[in-house]
Amino acid sequence: MSRLRKKKTPITKLTTSPSSSAKPQSTRAVIRQFHVHLKKQAQGQTRNGRPETLGADLGSQVEQVGGLQEYQEMSVRGQGNDRGGGCEKVLIGWLLARDQKAHCTKSGLRLLEVGALLPDNYRSCASWIDVTPIDLHSRHPAILEQDFLQMDDASNMEKWDILSLSLVLNFVPDAHERGRMLRKCAKFLKRGAFLFLTLPLPCVRNSRYVSLETLVQLMQSLGLELVEERWREGGKLAYWLFCKMDSEGIHPDGQQFRTKRVLLSGKSRNNFAILM
């Protein structure tokens, strides 16, 4: 009599209850490989040649590291409490320190969370933060499936009190599209409202084209002033809180951010850039 064989679950299958059993090193490896393949795919689609073939090959490579679902799964695991929690804790701390809870209206502060992987990141602040979580590929019914870059400018003009781009800007594969995303953020924010930005630290400490200083200057050209920042040498992430200027004023010229300018040279540098 033959024994019944238990059907194995594919290792890339998305589980309904994310576990944090994956090692941090393997989590980072999947995320890093996904970004590399996505960048190559974007480059292939903008060059002459045979982008269809290149795209298919790279699509296969992306699937080999688990595809989009595995990328999202690993990102969620990276937000687990056993790994320091999500970036929203930094934002909440800064808002409380600036007494935003006491000064918000009865309806609460309107927060647009771009690239949300979990629907309840701000559950503890439900009494004073009214959050709208969106993601390009929603993995939860409470997260609106929406491309931020396709959101209507007119209906969102100066609508939001807070905008969160937590590990989102670095996911955009094109430097000009990153600039467009930041321009939309500036348009969507009310005067005196906040933009919370999180990036991998190497984006501003090991890039050929972006530094901590030039990032702040670029944001100033959009009318966004730096009010808080957090990072440490050798760390993984950098956090910033920018405030939209209350008055029109005269913003610094953003001409220097229309073309790439090498700030640091060397083979070990990355090519992260933001162009206006």
Domain residues of the chain, as ranges? 24-80, 86-257
- In this prediction, residue 104 carries a pLDDT of 84
Tell me if 135 is assigned to a ligand binding site.
yes
Q: Is the pLDDT of residue 219 over 70?
A: yes
pLDDT value at position 192? 95
pLDDT, position 107: 87
The burial of 10, by beta-carbon neighbours within 10 Å (0-12 exposed, 13-18 middle, 19 or more buried), is given as exposed
What predicted TM-score, i.e. pTM, was given to this entire model? 0.75
Q: State the Cα–Cα distance between residues 179 and 163, nearest whole angstrom.
A: 15
Digit-coded pLDDT (tens) for 1-18: 555 554 443 333 333 344
| pLDDT reading at 26 higher than 70 | no
Q: Per mean pLDDT, which range of 108-112, 135-139, 160-164, 249-253 is the poorest? A: 249-253
**Per the annotation, does 249 bind a ligand?**
no
pLDDT band of 25, cuts 50, 70, 90: low
Q: Which of 212, 218, 222, 224 is nearest to 275 (CA)?
A: 218
Q: What is the mean pLDDT of residues 187-194?
A: 96
What value does the mean pLDDT take over residues 41-64?
A: 47
User: Per CATH, which fold does 86-257 belong to?
Assistant: Rossmann fold (3.40.50)
Residues 63-81: tens digit of each pLDDT: 444 444 544 454 444 444 4
Interatomic CA distance for residues 175 and 218, integer angstroms: 13
Q: Which two tokens stand for residue 110?
A: 């309107």
Q: Across the chain, what does the average pLDDT equal?
A: 79
Closest CA to 120 of 131, 107, 105, 104: 131
